[in-house]
Amino acid sequence: MTRAASLALVDCNNFYASCERLFRPDLLHRAIVVLSNNDGCVVARSAEAKMLGIPMGVPLHQVQHLIRQHGVVLFSSNYALYGDISRRVMTVLSTLAPDLEVYSIDEAFLDLSGIRDIEPHAHMIRATVRQWTGIPVSIGIAPTKTLSKVANRLAKKDPALKGVMDLRDSRLQEQLLRDFPVGDVWGIGRRLAEKLDVLGIGTALQLRDADTSLLRARFGVVMERLVRELRGEKCLDLESQPAPKQQIIASRSFGQPVTGLHEVQEAVSHHVARAAARLRSQYSIAQTLQIQLYPLPFGALARQASIQLSQATADTSEMIRVARQVVAGLYQPGQRYRKAGVMLLDLAPPGVRQASLFSAPEDPKRQQLMHTLDGINAQFGRAMLRFAAEGIEQPWAMRAGKRSPRYTTCWGELARVR
DNA sequence: TCTGGGGTCCTAGGACCC
DNA sequence: TCTGGGGTCCTAGGACCC
């Protein structure tokens, strides 16, 4: 029996539905469903709702008959609440393992190396989270992240396991992967499952034992990593420090279709403000602003524009000023819009190269670039002053510029100090 | 008629440079 | 008319995740 490094995936059961239930204990055994913004789609279901055959992500109108027939209780989503409860769960978990990675609002990978009796420990984790937060969780234990995902799924499926599945044993892996549909493997979506099916690969075991180089050639490096992980070879590390976002998106569907330019501009301005706030909270500035307007009917191509800001910034009013102009350009009178979105790209810091150029010193493009770098420097200086004023430790440092006689390469880089 | 809001990584192809 | 190699950067789009 081979026993490798031990990783656990802790996943909250029916998370949003469980959160709502905390405040409605009378709904303990009732079918309940949580809806997306504007109450459009089903985004979470209690076990009872799953049993009724209400699928994940389905538009509400498609299951209205089931809802009425079985008296399913509906909730609008309350992300502030779910975020708060998630933080409590993660805090509890962090006291029960040497290291953890918060993977999503309802999942965390735990490093359990150094813990001797892992299975009893996992049961203890499960009971503690339940007792301290009220949230039920399932735990999958395995040598790699991908296998721990498999284990977690099995833990959820078989009640006899009491919420914990230990998949460290390689013979057990072989046995259980045999019946595990390849489409349920982490990283295999609908498209890939279809393509694998054509190759005669229908189970996780067949995928695990397939020819690596063939898969690599056909599907790329992501697939190769996935296959190796299924074999118990660790390719994905635990990332306990959350990396700063590389792009920030803020978008919303309108409750009703919108036609007026002013209304669209107001909505976009609001999204810009939300995105910029998130940008500042990770101490970043953005160089590129992207605006998307989604017309009706559903599925119609979005109108979009991408704008390089004259200098990278995190300033809300400057971004809103630019965004309003862009919206005016994209907007078509008489068109009905269902959704608007904003995306911030080319974020810095940390460690993001801002620009590079190989050109003669008099090249106007180089002048432009130097101007941009000056802009970054200025932003950076102001940020530092603000940190100092607020007594915050200065988290970033900056480097810029590099020259050679004939040509000049310039680049700016904001690097993390610690 | 009614259809969420975030994110990530990878690849292909074109522009551009020496 | 045919004729180069090697490289970077950017963008769009596809696939996936929760």
**β-strands A303-313, A337-348 pairing:** unpaired
pLDDT of residue A303: 84
pLDDT of residue A418: 24
| Structural element, H or E, at residue A88 | helix A79-94
pLDDT of residue A311: 74
* Closest residue by Cα to residue A352 from A276, A301, A283: A283
**Which is higher by pLDDT, A148 or A389?**
A148
Distance, CA of A36 to C1' of B4, in Å: 5
Distance, CA of A72 to C1' of B17, in Å: 63
Residue pLDDT, tens place only, A328-379 = 888 888 888 988 999 998 777 533 333 333 334 445 544 554 555 455 444 4
pLDDT of residue A4: 58
Length of chain A: 418
Give residue for tokens 């704008």.
A307
Tell me the average pLDDT of chain A: 82
Helix axes A261-281, A316-330, angle to 10 degrees: 140
Would the pLDDT of A383 be above 60?
no
Give residue for tokens 């072989």.
A174
Distance, CA of A358 to C1' of B18, in Å: 10
**β-strands A164-166, A352-353 pairing:** unpaired
**Which is higher by pLDDT, A386 or A278?**
A278
pLDDT of residue A149: 96
Nucleotides of B under 7 A from a protein CB: 1-11, 17-18
By C1' distance from the Cα of A297, the closest nucleotide is B3
Assign A94 to helix, strand or coil.
helix
Would the pLDDT of A400 be above 60?
no
Question: In angstroms, rounded to a whole number, what is the distance separating the alpha carbons of residues A22 and A270?
Answer: 32
Nearest protein residue, CA measured to C1' of B6: A249
Question: In angstroms, rounded to a whole number, what is the distance separating the alpha carbons of residues A397 and A416?
Answer: 6
**β-strands A357-359, A408-410 pairing:** antiparallel
Residues with CB under 7 A from strand C: A 103-107, 149, 185-193, 288, 306, 353, 355-356
By C1' distance from the Cα of A61, the closest nucleotide is B2
